[in-house]
C-alpha cells in the first residue's frame, strides 16, 4: 500500500502529462468515418434489397459527384484538408504548454501560464510597480518579460531579469527557461 | 492520465487521414486533371460486391462504437484499494484541501484516482490564482503532501498538476499581500 512514485512509472506519467494523447481527435475522426460508412452501408443494403436508394446506390456515388466538376473539386478539397489535419495530428507531438518542477516526492507539472503569471508578480514586486505593468510570455526555453514603467520613474532591465531568473531557478523547472527583460519606452501614469 | 493507448490513437488518425487523401484523389481526379482514372470502378455493383461494401461498413461502425465505448478508462473511486483498507479519493481530496486552504494563492484543489497498468495513482489538480507567489505556492503544496502522508501513514504515488482554470479566471488575485 505504501510506495513512493517509482522511476519507470514517472517517465510514463511525465509523458502523459506533457503531450496530448490525441484521444479526442482520434475519436472524432473515427466517428466521422463511421457516419460515412454507415451511410454507404445503408445504400448498399437498400440496393441489395432492391429498394430505391436514398441518393444513389454505392457504386453510383462517385460518378454522381464527378458529374459537376465544381462539386467534385469542392468535395475533394474538403476531404484533402480533413485528411491533412488528421495526418498532422498523428505526427506532431502535441505538447501541452506545461513543464515539470523537479521534486523527489511526486511528479509536479505546472502550466506555463501559471509560471508566467508568477514571474510577472516577482518582477513587479522587485521593481516596485503594479502587476499590470509587467507582461511575461513563456516560450520553451526563454521567458520574455516586458515592463511598462511608471512615467517619471526610471526602470532598468537588470533587476527585472534578476528577479525573474531567481524565481525560475528556485522553482527548478524542467526545461529551465532563461529570462530576458525589456523596458518599454513609453510609461504609464500610475 | 487514462489508459488510452497513445500510439494507437495516432495510428488511427494516420490511417484515417490517408484514407481521406485517397478519397480526395478519387473524387477530384477527373475534375482536376481532365482525364479519367487509370482504372475502372464498377458502375452497378453485383450482389457480391454490394455485400462486401455492406460488410465493410458494418465492421467500421462496430469498431467505432467499440472504440468510443472504451475511452476514458482508468478512473477509480478509491485512492487506496486493498482488502484491509479502502480509502476514497474524495477523502484524500478533503485532506489536501484543508491543508491547502491556508494558502492564499490556491483557488481550488481536486483529486482523482487512476489505475493504469496496475499502477494506482492520484492526480491532484491545484488551481492557482492570478499572479501567484510561486515559491510560497510550491512550498505549501509540498507541505500539504507531507502532512497528508503523515496522516495516512503512507506515501501514495502522486502527480500534481498546477494549473489555471475557470476558477482562476473568475477569482481575483490573493486578497492579502
pLDDT per residue over A53-111, tens digit each? 888 888 888 888 888 888 889 999 999 999 999 999 999 988 889 999 999 899 999 99
What is the ipTM, given to two decimal places? Answer: 0.77
Residue of chain B whose Cα is closest to the Cα of A16? B1
List chain A residues with CB under 8 Å of B111. Answer: none
List chain A residues with CB under 8 Å of B65. Answer: 34
Alpha carbons within 13 angstroms on the beta-carbon side of residue B164 total: 20
- Could you tell me the three cell numbers for B81? 484499494
B56: which residues sit within 8 A by CB, 6+ positions away? A37, A41
Report strand pairing: B78-81 vs B86-88. antiparallel
Asked whether B20 and A86 are in contact (CB, 8 A), the reply is: yes
Residue of chain A whose Cα is closest to the Cα of B41? A59
In chain B, residues 6-65 whose CB comes closer than 8 Å to chain A:
6, 8-14, 16-21, 23-28, 30-32, 41-45, 47, 49-51, 53-54, 56-58, 60-61, 63-65
Q: What is the mean pLDDT of chain A?
A: 88
- H or E, element range at B78: strand B78-81
List chain B residues with CB under 8 Å of A1. Answer: 80, 82, 85, 154
pLDDT for A2: 42
Q: Is A58 helix (H, G, I), strand (E, B) or coil?
A: helix
Cell 501559471 -> residue: A114
pLDDT for B169: 63
pLDDT for A3: 45
Min mean pLDDT across A22-26, A115-119, B39-43, B145-149 is at B39-43
* Residuewise pLDDT in 10s, chain B (177 residues): 676 788 999 999 999 999 999 999 888 887 767 667 666 676 777 888 889 999 999 999 999 999 988 887 778 888 888 889 888 999 999 999 999 988 999 989 999 998 877 788 899 999 999 999 999 999 999 999 999 999 988 888 899 999 987 666 666 666 544
Nearest Cα neighbor of A90 from A13, A9, A30, A17 is A30
Question: Is A80 within 8 Å of B21 when comparing Cβ atoms?
Answer: yes
Query: In whole angstroms, what separates CA A81 from the centre of its chain?
Result: 20
Q: Which residues pair with B158 in a beta bridge?
A: B122
pLDDT for A1: 41
- Could you tell me the three cell numbers for B78? 478509491
pLDDT for A52: 86
Give pLDDT tens digits for B106-116.
Answer: 989 999 998 87
Q: Which residues pair with B139 in a beta bridge?
A: none
How large is the average pLDDT for residues A162-190? 90
Question: Is A114 within 8 Å of B134 when comparing Cβ atoms?
Answer: yes
Q: Report pTM.
A: 0.77
Decide if pLDDT at A138 tops 80: yes
List chain B residues with CB under 8 Å of A78. Answer: 24
pLDDT for B150: 93
B113: which residues sit within 8 A by CB, 6+ positions away? B75, B76, B77, B78, B79, B89, B120, B121, B122, B123
Distance in Å, alpha carbon of B2 to nearest chain A alpha carbon? 9
Q: How far apart are CA A137 and CA A131, in angstroms?
A: 14
Rg of chain B in Å (alpha carbons)? 26
| More confident of the two residues B168 and A45 | A45
Distance in Å, alpha carbon of A22 to nearest chain B alpha carbon? 6
- H or E, element range at B74: none
List chain B residues with CB under 8 Å of A46. Answer: none
Asked whether A19 and A94 are in contact (CB, 8 A), the reply is: yes
Amino acid at each position: 500500500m505504501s510506495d513512493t512514485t517509482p522511476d519507470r512509472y514517472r517517465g510514463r506519467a511525465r509523458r502523459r502529462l506533457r503531450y496530448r494523447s490525441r484521444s479526442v481527435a482520434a475519436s472524432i475522426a473515427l466517428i466521422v468515418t463511421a457516419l460515412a460508412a454507415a451511410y454507404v452501408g445503408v445504400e448498399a443494403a437498400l440496393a441489395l434489397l432492391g429498394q430505391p436508394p436514398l441518393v444513389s446506390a454505392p457504386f453510383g456515388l462517385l460518378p454522381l459527384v464527378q458529374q459537376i466538376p465544381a462539386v467534385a473539386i469542392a468535395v475533394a478539397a474538403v476531404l484533402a484538408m480533413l485528411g491533412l489535419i488528421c495526418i498532422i495530428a498523428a505526427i506532431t507531438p502535441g505538447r501541452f504548454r506545461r513543464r515539470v518542477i523537479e521534486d523527489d516526492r511526486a511528479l509536479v507539472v505546472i502550466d506555463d501560464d501559471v509560471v508566467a503569471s508568477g514571474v510577472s508578480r516577482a518582477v513587479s514586486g522587485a521593481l516596485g510597480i503594479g502587476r499590470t505593468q509587467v507582461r511575461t510570455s513563456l516560450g520553451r526555453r526563454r521567458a520574455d518579460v516586458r515592463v511598462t514603467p511608471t512615467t517619471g520613474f526610471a526602470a532598468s532591465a537588470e533587476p527585472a531579469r534578476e528577479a525573474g531568473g531567481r524565481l525560475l531557478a528556485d522553482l527548478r523547472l524542467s526545461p529551465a527557461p532563461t529570462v530576458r527583460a525589456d523596458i518599454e519606452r513609453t510609461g504609464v501614469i500610475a | 492520465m487514462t489508459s488510452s493507448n497513445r500510439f494507437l490513437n495516432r495510428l488511427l488518425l494516420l490511417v484515417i487521414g490517408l484514407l481521406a487523401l485517397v478519397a480526395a484523389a478519387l473524387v477530384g481526379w477527373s475534375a482536376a486533371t481532365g482525364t479519367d482514372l487509370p482504372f475502372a470502378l464498377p458502375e452497378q455493383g453485383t450482389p457480391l460486391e454490394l455485400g462486401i461494401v455492406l460488410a465493410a461498413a458494418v465492421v467500421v461502425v462496430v469498431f467505432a462504437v467499440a472504440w468510443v465505448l472504451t475511452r476514458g478508462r482508468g478512473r477509480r473511486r478509491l485512492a487506496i484499494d486493498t482488502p484491509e483498507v479502502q480509502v476514497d479519493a474524495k477523502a484524500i481530496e478533503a485532506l489536501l484541501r484543508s491543508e491547502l486552504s491556508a494558502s492564499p494563492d490556491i483557488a481550488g484543489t481536486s483529486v482523482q484516482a487512476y489505475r493504469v497498468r496496475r499502477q494506482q495513482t492520484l492526480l491532484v489538480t491545484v488551481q492557482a490564482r492570478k499572479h501567484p507567489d510561486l515559491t510560497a505556492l510550491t512550498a505549501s503544496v509540498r507541505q500539504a503532501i507531507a502532512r497528508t502522508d503523515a496522516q495516512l501513514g503512507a506515501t501514495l504515488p502522486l502527480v500534481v498538476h498546477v494549473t489555471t482554470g475557470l476558477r482562476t479566471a473568475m477569482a481575483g488575485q490573493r486578497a492579502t499581500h
